[in-house]
Amino acid sequence: MTEKLNVTIAVTGLNNTDNPGPGIPVIRGILESDKINARIIGLAYENQEPGIYLSDLVDKTYMIPYPSVGKEAYMNRILQIHKKDPIDLIIPNLDAELFTFMTSENVLKQNNIHTFLPTVKQFEERQKGNLQEYGEKYNIKVPKSISITSYTDIPRIDSEFDYPVLVKGKFYDAYIAYNPDQVVNHFNKISAKWGLPVIIQEFIRGTEVNVIALGDGEGETIAAVPMRKQYITDKGKAWSGVTLGDENLLNITNRLMRESKWKGGMELEMIKTVDNEYFLIEINPRIPAWVYLAVGAGQNIPEALVLLGMGQNVFPMKEYAVGKMFIRYSYDLIGDISDFEKISITGEL
Amino acid sequence: MKLKKNIAVSESGFVFDPNSGESYSLNPTGREILNLLSEGKTGEDIKGLLMDKYDVNPSTFNLYFDDFVQMLRHYNLIESEE
């Protein structure tokens, strides 16, 4: 039997709330691995992220500032933590922090901190505002979309789209608008929260289907599991889902991986129309929060990402169980105010 | 009329379409029809078998049978018409 890889892994996205980050399911996958012996460091932005208090999953948590403080200050905090509590690998799980980590890869590498992230070029070309060009480049159907930065762009929608349209934030949030007034309303809400641009996208009727995938950066699909959400919360998040045996989705994923040489985890969000056409509506450049379904279906994506990040070879996983379901649940953790005090005052727990 | 491949019909009458992720519940008659379809029986075979087996008025049976087949087609569970 081969020896387990001893590794200290820092993970963000511990916000296992009604809009869950992927951190906790990523950690569960890693801890279930029979190839990895992991010590988990949680990196939290808010002192009430549930993962901080899940001591059977997270060994130690440190507070970190939001990426908006600037790359230097952000990385200084990461390296300060690293100095005190050495990190072998970081898995960033939130869209808004990815750019900072990707552009700090060299600094991290110099400090012996590994990552397994897409390149800036890969990250940028799949941005929502660039989806049109992405579709053309990789020969995949995408809904028409434009980026708008002010009210003066809104009249353009009338001439270029049929209502309803989707109004999307650059990182998160999507609302349907049936008229220009609703676009204004959503534009205000989204731009205040996520900044500009705001994306206007053609509304494609059909069923949303998703694929979680992991690319090795050389064109190989290491893992891919398609899923359909069965129950969606009022925040638009999956509360339950089931794995699909849709070969078309796997073929699309493999082709995108091969041609884009995607490195790292990703989620493809697609709409399947009644005519069996597939439209790519979004690529999330990181592991999604439903990753544990893939683990349960037989593809431990977090484990594979850790091994790849640590420079090990991973064979592509081709099999998974179709018809595996996940259902989220809420659970009241009981803690002591002294833990809350500690994380609030000292920034660690 | 052919049941699409990979469509799973359990003994309890639960149908799962792995391609779409949709699931359905059948009553015992629906289950019997789907089982016969998965055995490769044609629509006419199934009609004959069920009318022999049950005491049912043919015109009423045909009405319900056609309605059921229409539903299977609507939910994309059968390949194509005979």
Judge contact between A27 and A60, C-beta under 8 A. no
Q: Is residue A125 part of a domain?
A: no
Looking at the fold, whether A109 and A181 belong to one and the same domain comes out as: no
Q: What is the mean pLDDT of residues B29-55?
A: 93
Looking at the fold, whether A181 and A217 belong to one and the same domain comes out as: no
Looking at the fold, whether A211 and A322 belong to one and the same domain comes out as: yes
- The answer, for B18 touching chain A at a CB cutoff of 8 Å, is yes
Element counts in chain A: helices (H) and strands (E): 12, 14
In the block, which residue shows the tokens 């590794």?
A7
Cross-chain residue pair A209–B21, CB shorter than 8 Å: yes
| Rounded Cα–Cα distance for residues A46 and A25 (Å) | 18
Alpha carbon separation from A175 to A20, A167, A196, A198, A201 (Å, rounded)? 19, 5, 16, 11, 10
Nearest residue of A to residue B8 by CA position? Answer: A323
Alpha carbon separation from A316 to A77, A213, A305, B30 (Å, rounded)? 35, 11, 12, 41
Residue B82 has pLDDT above 60, yes or no: no
The alpha carbon of residue A278 is apart from the nearest alpha carbon of chain B, in Å, by 13
Residues from chain B that touch A207, judged by Cβ atoms under 8 A, are 20
Residue B80 has pLDDT above 80, yes or no: no
Q: Is residue A131 part of a domain?
A: no
The alpha carbon of residue B4 is apart from the nearest alpha carbon of chain A, in Å, by 13
- The answer, for A214 touching chain B at a CB cutoff of 8 Å, is no
Count of structural domains, chain A: 3
pLDDT in tens, A166-186: 999 887 788 999 999 999 999
Of B16, B19, B23, which has the smallest distance from its Cβ to A246's Cβ? B19
Looking at the fold, whether A313 and A338 belong to one and the same domain comes out as: no
Cross-chain residue pair A245–B8, CB shorter than 8 Å: no
Interface probe, candidates B5, B7, B19, chain A, greatest A C-beta count within 10 A: B19
Of A241, A272, A323, which has the smallest distance from its Cβ to B16's Cβ? A323
pLDDT in tens, A7-35: 999 999 999 998 899 999 999 999 999 99
List all residues of chain A from 145 to 174 with a beta carbon under 8 Å from chain B: none
Last residue of a domain, one of A202, A225, A245: A202
The pLDDT score that the predictor gives to residue A299 is 98
Residue A1 has pLDDT above 70, yes or no: no
Q: Is residue A137 part of a domain?
A: no
Q: What is the DSSP letter of A205?
A: P
Residues from chain A that touch B23, judged by Cβ atoms under 8 A, are 242
Residue A265 phi/psi, 5-degree rounding, is -85, 155
- The answer, for A251 touching chain B at a CB cutoff of 8 Å, is no
Torsion (CA) A119, A121, A126, A130 in degrees, nearest 10:
160
Cross-chain residue pair A323–B20, CB shorter than 8 Å: no
Looking at the fold, whether A67 and A175 belong to one and the same domain comes out as: no
Cross-chain residue pair A242–B21, CB shorter than 8 Å: yes
Q: Is residue A129 part of a domain?
A: no
Looking at the fold, whether A218 and A277 belong to one and the same domain comes out as: yes
Looking at the fold, whether A280 and A305 belong to one and the same domain comes out as: yes
Share of chain B above pLDDT 70, in %: 96
Looking at the fold, whether A149 and A258 belong to one and the same domain comes out as: no
- The answer, for B70 touching chain A at a CB cutoff of 8 Å, is no
Residues from chain B that touch A245, judged by Cβ atoms under 8 A, are 6, 18-19
Cβ–Cβ pairs < 8 A, chains A and B: 25
Residues from chain B that touch A249, judged by Cβ atoms under 8 A, are none
Closest CA to A46 of A26, A66, A68: A66
pLDDT in tens, A93-133: 999 999 999 999 999 999 999 999 999 999 999 988 888 89
Torsion (CA) A255, A260, A266, A267 in degrees, nearest 10:
-50
Nearest residue of B to residue A275 by CA position? Answer: B76
- The answer, for B21 touching chain A at a CB cutoff of 8 Å, is yes
Cross-chain residue pair B18–A227, CB shorter than 8 Å: no
pLDDT in tens, A122-171: 999 998 888 889 999 999 999 998 899 998 899 889 889 999 999 998 87
Q: Is residue A238 part of a domain?
A: yes
- The answer, for B6 touching chain A at a CB cutoff of 8 Å, is yes
Average pLDDT, chain A: 94
Looking up residue A66, the CATH number of its domain turns out to be: 3.40.50.20
* Parallel/antiparallel/unpaired status of strands A36-44 and A60-63: parallel
The pLDDT score that the predictor gives to residue A207 is 92
Looking up residue A159, the CATH number of its domain turns out to be: 3.30.1490
Q: Is residue A139 part of a domain?
A: no
| Rounded Cα–Cα distance for residues A149 and A198 (Å) | 6
Q: Which residues contact B52 (CB under 8 A, 6 or more apart)?
A: none
Nearest residue of A to residue B15 by CA position? Answer: A323
The pLDDT score that the predictor gives to residue A235 is 79
Host domain of residue A15? 5-117+332-346
- The answer, for B14 touching chain A at a CB cutoff of 8 Å, is no
Share of chain A above pLDDT 90, in %: 86
Nearest residue of A to residue B20 by CA position? Answer: A244
- The answer, for B10 touching chain A at a CB cutoff of 8 Å, is no
| Rounded Cα–Cα distance for residues A30 and B82 (Å) | 51
Note the Cα B64 to chain centre separation in Å. 11
pLDDT in tens, A238-273: 899 999 999 999 999 999 999 999 999 999 999 999
Looking at the fold, whether A336 and A263 belong to one and the same domain comes out as: no
| Rounded Cα–Cα distance for residues A43 and A24 (Å) | 11
Last residue of a domain, one of A169, A185, A202: A202
Cross-chain residue pair A228–B20, CB shorter than 8 Å: yes
Structure confidence at residue B1 as a pLDDT band (50, 70, 90): confident
The alpha carbon of residue B21 is apart from the nearest alpha carbon of chain A, in Å, by 6
Q: Is residue A296 part of a domain?
A: yes
Could you report how far apart the first and last alpha carbons of chain A are, in Å?
35
Residue A333 has pLDDT above 80, yes or no: yes
| Rounded Cα–Cα distance for residues A173 and A190 (Å) | 7
Judge contact between A313 and A261, C-beta under 8 A. no
